[in-house]
């Protein structure tokens, strides 16, 4: 423990921020998972399925209501306008507010059509729109904290929301007969209240709603990416909407529970990637490609290990998280975990595409994978049931990773960069080994001693190599101030 603490004190701000972002993500998701058994037992499968349906529609409407301006373009803006970040943040928030107002007007014109298409009551849709209007303000603040490695305030806010969100949800569900609606409103209104605070804060600091140059930059960068973000939604969320249509709310609830558990590692890897993006940009700016290559391989190995843990513990986790009718969800977790790993891998390549502002290439790859996902779901879900959706998604993420790698190579070639930014051969080997291990995990579900023996071995290796790993990570980051 002393060695770990000593290594931590020597860490740069970038490494400390990454570590704390990961810890917070695990804590946030862990608290959510601890309360899942309560919700699955307090709510019927139809009510729990309604909550999952809301989350899916929230994802797609958020794209139109915010233009996803807190995503790729915001990091580029932090780098491009590093001496005017307050005004850039404020003006970007003004632009996303305008987009949200357009979506609100569209709902007011035909509210009944919206309710029929979304399959949700009006009160839920209204709360969704309020959340979409204010929540981007929180996202802008969080992305800037990550970019500047200011982790303390973000850590405290994350812990606060991680605790209050499920507690408020439990109170609302127990107090209402419409438990699905109550769970939705508890999440939506809490996010909106927090968003309002940062909405005012961002405008107070930047004091600018409109800025022609910043709006032009943001629209030119992100509008071509709207198909990409929609494609990401199709890959990540459309399977749940299609399951509801093909198999009903009960199967959607089972899939949703497995999705929540399988995405533990996705939450972790997203935190790693968000912290890694500004470091990647700085490394590319200073042409420190060798450091980028070494650090990225450490992260790929870490993500591969994280992917195995929820799969190895899947039968026990499902048993704890839901009543017996959720038991078949155990077979959905492995492909979902593999999808999370592949998302991280293709994000490494996409980060380079974003850095060089080659957005149209990102869009083409994502759209092709999304169309393929829908087609495969239409073919295989009627034949093999809702579980097929998880495996078709894996296939599409694999194709997407390959496509982004090829696009990245083309961009680097056009930029006159001959050096490889990642150890591709090692990534391929790690991916192949992970696939084999996940298949073996499914076969070993009836043998808990073997599965927990594997978990013990993974933890033992990590513990034995902890000092080496910590020193390597710090050595790769301890000079980022000079990058």
Nearest-angstrom CA–CA distance, 394 and 375:
14
Helix axes 466-477, 13-42, angle to 10 degrees: 120
Runs of H (alpha helix) within 356-385: 359-384
Pairwise pLDDT comparison (324 vs 399), residue with the higher score: 399
Dmax (CA) for the chain in angstroms is: 63
DSSP reduced 3-state for 118? helix
Lowest mean pLDDT among 253-267, 341-355, 433-447: 253-267
Closest alpha carbon to 284 in 475, 483, 473 = 483
End-to-end CA distance of the chain: 31
* Alpha-carbon span 205 to 257, nearest angstrom: 41
Contact 261, 54 (CB under 8 A): no
**Alpha carbon separation from 293 to 225, 274, 284, 413, 415 (Å, rounded):** 27, 17, 11, 17, 18
Does residue 96 register a pLDDT over 80?
A: yes
Alpha helices in 110-211 (DSSP H): 111-118, 122-147, 152-175, 179-206
At 482 the pLDDT is: 46
**How are the residues of the chain apportioned to helix, strand and coil, as percentages rounded to the nearest 5?**
85, 0, 15
Out of 236-245, 261-270, 341-350, 395-404, which region has the weakest mean confidence (pLDDT)? 261-270
Q: What is the pLDDT of residue 263?
A: 64
* Structure tokens belonging to residue 15: 């490494």
Contact 228, 366 (CB under 8 A): yes
Please give the average per-residue pLDDT across 122-126, as a whole number.
94
Q: pTM score, two decimals?
A: 0.70
- Helix (H) / strand (E) element for 270: namely helix 264-285
Percentage of the chain with pLDDT > 90? Answer: 28
Give the pLDDT confidence of 227-272 residue by residue, as tens digits: 888 887 777 777 877 887 788 778 888 887 887 776 666 677 777 7
pLDDT of amino acid 483: 42
Share of the chain above pLDDT 70, in %: 88
Return d(Cα 375, Cα 171) in angstroms, integer: 41
| Model pLDDT, residue 386 | 86
| Nearest C-alpha neighbor of 282 from the set 12, 14, 3, 9 | 14
What phi and psi values does residue 178 have, to the nearest 5 degrees?
-90, 75
| CA gap 434, 175 in Å, rounded | 45
Mean model confidence pLDDT for the chain: 83
- Residue 43 DSSP one-character state: S
293/285 Cα distance (integer angstroms): 15
CA-to-CA distance for 225 and 236, rounded, in angstroms?
16
Polymer length of the chain: 483
3-state SS, residue 149: coil
* Integer Cα distance of 191 and 131 in angstroms: 6
Mean local confidence (pLDDT), 195-212 = 95
């Amino acid at each position: 423990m002393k060695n770990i603490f000593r290594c931590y004190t020597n860490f740069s701000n970038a490494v400390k921020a990454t570590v704390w972002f990961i810890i917070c993500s695990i804590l946030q998701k862990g608290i959510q998972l601890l309360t899942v058994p309560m919700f699955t037992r307090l709510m019927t499968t139809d009510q729990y399925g309604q909550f999952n349906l809301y989350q899916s529609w929230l994802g797609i409407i958020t794209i139109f209501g915010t233009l996803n301006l807190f995503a790729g373009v915001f990091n580029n803006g932090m780098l491009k306008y590093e001496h005017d970040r307050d005004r850039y943040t404020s003006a970007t928030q003004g632009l996303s507010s305008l987009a949200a107002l357009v979506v609100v007007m569209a709902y007011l014109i035909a509210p009944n059509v919206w309710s029929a298409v979304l399959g949700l009551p009006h009160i839920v849709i209204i709360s969704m729109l309020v959340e979409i209007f204010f929540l981007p303000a929180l996202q802008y603040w969080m992305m800037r904290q990550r970019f500047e490695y200011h982790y303390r305030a973000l850590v405290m806010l994350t812990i606060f929301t991680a605790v209050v969100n499920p507690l408020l949800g439990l109170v609302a569900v127990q107090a209402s007969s419409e438990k699905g609606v109550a769970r939705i409103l508890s999440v939506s209104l809490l996010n909106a209240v927090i968003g309002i605070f940062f909405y005012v804060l961002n405008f107070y600091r930047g004091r600018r709603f409109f800025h022609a140059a910043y709006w032009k930059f943001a629209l030119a960068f992100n509008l071509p990416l709207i198909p990409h973000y929609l494609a990401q939604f199709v890959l990540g969320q459309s399977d749940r909407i299609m399951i509801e249509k093909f198999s009903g709310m009960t199967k959607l609830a089972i899939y949703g529970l497995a999705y929540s558990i399988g995405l533990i590692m996705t939450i972790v890897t997203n935190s790693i990637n968000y912290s890694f993006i500004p470091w990647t940009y700085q490394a590319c700016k200073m042409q420190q490609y060798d450091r980028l290559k070494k650090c990225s391989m450490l992260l790929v190995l870490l993500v591969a290990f994280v992917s195995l843990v929820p799969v190895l513990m899947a039968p026990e986790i499902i048993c704890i998280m839901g009543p017996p009718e959720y038991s078949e969800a155990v077979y959905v977790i492995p492909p979902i975990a593999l999808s999370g790993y592949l998302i991280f891998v293709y994000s490494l390549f996409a980060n380079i595409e974003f850095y060089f502002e080659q957005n149209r290439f990102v869009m083409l790859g994502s759209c092709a994978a999304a169309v393929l996902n829908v087609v495969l779901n239409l073919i295989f879900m009627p034949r093999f049931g809702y579980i097929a959706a998880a495996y078709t998604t894996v296939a599409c993420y694999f194709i997407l990773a390959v496509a982004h790698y090829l696009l990245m190579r083309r961009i680097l070639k056009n930029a006159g960069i001959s050096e490889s930014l990642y150890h591709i051969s090692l990534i391929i080997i790690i991916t192949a080994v992970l696939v084999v291990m996940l298949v073996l995990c499914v076969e070993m579900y009836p043998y808990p001693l073997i599965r927990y023996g594997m978990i013990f071995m993974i933890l033992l290796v990590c513990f034995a190599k902890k000092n080496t790993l910590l020193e390597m990570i710090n050595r790769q980051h301890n000079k980022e101030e000079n990058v």
